[in-house]
């Protein structure tokens, strides 16, 4: 019996039981649609996190004083004063893998402009800070190297600070704001960036020369941190090793001594978040995959019923010359047709459901082609796997017994 006839017989058998065939497909449809939608949500979340980290500066390296905390042990206060301006200058002048370096000191307090006030903090940074954090000045200018050298009382503010201190839409550039009784002249306003993935307002920021904050606000000689940016994301590990070597030399640490500083990179954060989202995506896909298995069991169940109902038909076909392999092929084709048709409908519904989730819930969605092909391949294999046993049972029937079956 040729393949064309087998397909015609299989189509006719399914057409005679349209409702039953559709209900059997339903398990496959739901399974494929669920897998595609869940993977799209997981991959969309991953892409969204990567984009937000990239906005923060994907090459960014953060250096903080003090060794890494172990088991919640409280450190000596002097351990948090290990970073000095000499460390910043050494990193700026001696490194080969860093594109930008900026010291960081911060002071919290109340900002006042006229009758308006707002609780915030002033960050003392260098000229390279904007490049490291991928910030741009939208209105006005950034403070200059001369302002840093003279500890000038100038600052650049974020959009949130502008909205709270100048709510009537006044231009803040050139205006004076006070922070803990110290007057600062606003030289520029940063371009708005909104909230990051951690829910932090990236526009609630006031930047001032680090020398100003250290001398006029904090009266300290040590740094609270150093921000740096590697030349490329791939060079982050090399830059980290280089920074470690320079700081250990500056701090005169022996080979047996632990680091008295901690280095963190956005690459570590990105890797950690990617691992978490991958785990969640896998979990969602596994839960959705259960629907595929249930759909496969449904195919096996219906094929068993079909074999039982058509036992006499099978006997007649075998008695007029049909071979066991023809009967096997016929029932396998039926099972595969059910799974493939269900798979195609499931792919369409899955893509549609992903678009609806994106439009209605505004969740980040990203459908990867491999997830569609994988779902389709799995449902095809499911049809073969669960359709094989009933088809084999039909092929092994004794023609005489089959014809006598009531």
Which tens digits make up the pLDDT trace of 308-324? 888 888 888 888 888 88
Instruction: Indicate whether 128 and 232 sit together in one domain.
Output: yes
Instruction: Indicate whether 247 and 283 sit together in one domain.
Output: no
Instruction: Indicate whether 172 and 230 sit together in one domain.
Output: yes
The 10s digit of each residue's pLDDT in 115-133 is 899 999 999 999 999 988 8
Instruction: Indicate whether 223 and 332 sit together in one domain.
Output: no
Instruction: Indicate whether 296 and 171 sit together in one domain.
Output: no
Residue 60 lies in a domain: no
Q: 205, 189 in Cβ contact below 8 A?
A: no
Query: At which of 196, 231, 259 does a domain end?
Result: 259
Instruction: Indicate whether 115 and 227 sit together in one domain.
Output: yes
Higher pLDDT, 119 or 403: 119
Q: Which of 198, 230, 209 is nearest to 153 (CA)?
A: 209
Residue 65 lies in a domain: no
Compute the average pLDDT of residues 156-179. Answer: 92
Enclosing domain of residue 178? 83-259
Higher pLDDT, 356 or 2: 356
This prediction has a pTM of 0.66
Compute the average pLDDT of residues 338-359. Answer: 90
- How many separate domains does the chain show? 2
Query: Whole-number mean pLDDT of the chain?
Result: 85
Instruction: Indicate whether 91 and 205 sit together in one domain.
Output: yes
Residues present in the chain in total: 406
Residue 134, pLDDT above cutoff 90: no
Higher pLDDT, 297 or 402: 297
Residue 71 lies in a domain: no
Compute the average pLDDT of residues 154-180. Answer: 92
Burial class of 200 by CB neighbour count within 10 A (0 to 12, 13 to 18, 19+): exposed
The share of the chain scoring above pLDDT 90, in percent, equals 32
The DSSP code sequence of 303-367 is HHHHHHHTHHHHHHHHHTT--HHHHHHHHHHHHHHHHHHHHHHHHHHHHHHHHHIIIII------
Output the pLDDT for position 145. Answer: 93
Query: At which of 206, 235, 259 does a domain end?
Result: 259
Instruction: Indicate whether 221 and 92 sit together in one domain.
Output: yes
């Amino acid at each position: 019996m040729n393949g064309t006839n087998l397909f015609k017989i299989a189509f006719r058998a399914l057409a005679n039981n349209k409702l039953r065939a559709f209900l059997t497909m339903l398990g496959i449809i739901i399974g494929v649609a669920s897998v595609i939608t869940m993977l799209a949500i997981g991959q969309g979340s991953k892409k969204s996190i990567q984009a937000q980290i990239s906005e923060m500066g994907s090459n960014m390296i953060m250096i903080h004083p003090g060794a890494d905390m172990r088991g919640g042990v409280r450190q000596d206060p002097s351990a948090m004063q290990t970073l000095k301006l000499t460390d910043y200058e050494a990193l700026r002048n001696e490194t080969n893998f860093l594109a930008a370096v900026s010291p960081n000191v911060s002071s919290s307090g109340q900002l006042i402009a006229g009758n308006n006030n707002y609780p915030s903090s002033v960050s003392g940074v260098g000229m390279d800070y904007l490049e490291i954090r991928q910030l741009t000045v939208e209105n006005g200018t950034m403070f200059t190297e001369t302002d840093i050298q003279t500890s000038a009382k100038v600052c650049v503010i974020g959009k949130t600070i502008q909205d709270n201190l100048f709510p009537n839409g006044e231009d803040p550039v050139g205006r004076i704001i006070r922070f803990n009784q110290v007057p600062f002249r606003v030289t520029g306003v940063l371009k708005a960036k909104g909230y990051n993935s951690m829910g932090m307002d990236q526009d609630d920021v006031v930047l001032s020369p680090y020398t100003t904050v250290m001398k006029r606000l904090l009266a300290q000689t040590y740094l609270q941190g150093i921000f740096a940016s590697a030349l490329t994301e791939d060079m982050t590990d090399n830059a980290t090793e280089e920074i470690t070597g320079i700081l250990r030399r500056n701090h005169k640490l022996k080979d047996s001594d632990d680091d008295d500083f901690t280095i963190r990179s956005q690459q570590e954060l990105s890797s950690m978040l990617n691992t978490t989202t991958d785990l969640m995506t896998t979990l969602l896909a596994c839960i959705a995959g259960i629907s595929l298995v249930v759909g496969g069991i449904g195919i096996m169940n219906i094929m068993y019923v079909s074999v039982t109902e058509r036992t006499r038909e099978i006997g007649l076909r075998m008695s007029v010359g049909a071979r066991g392999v023809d009967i096997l092929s016929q029932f396998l084709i039926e099972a595969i047709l059910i799974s493939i048709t269900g798979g195609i409908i499931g792919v369409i519904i899955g893509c549609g459901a992903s678009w609806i989730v994106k439009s209605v819930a505004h969740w980040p969605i990203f459908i990867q082609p491999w997830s569609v092909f994988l779902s389709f391949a799995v449902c095809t294999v499911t049809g073969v796997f669960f359709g094989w046993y009933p088809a084999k049972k039909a092929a092994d029937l004794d023609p005489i017994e089959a014809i006598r079956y009531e």
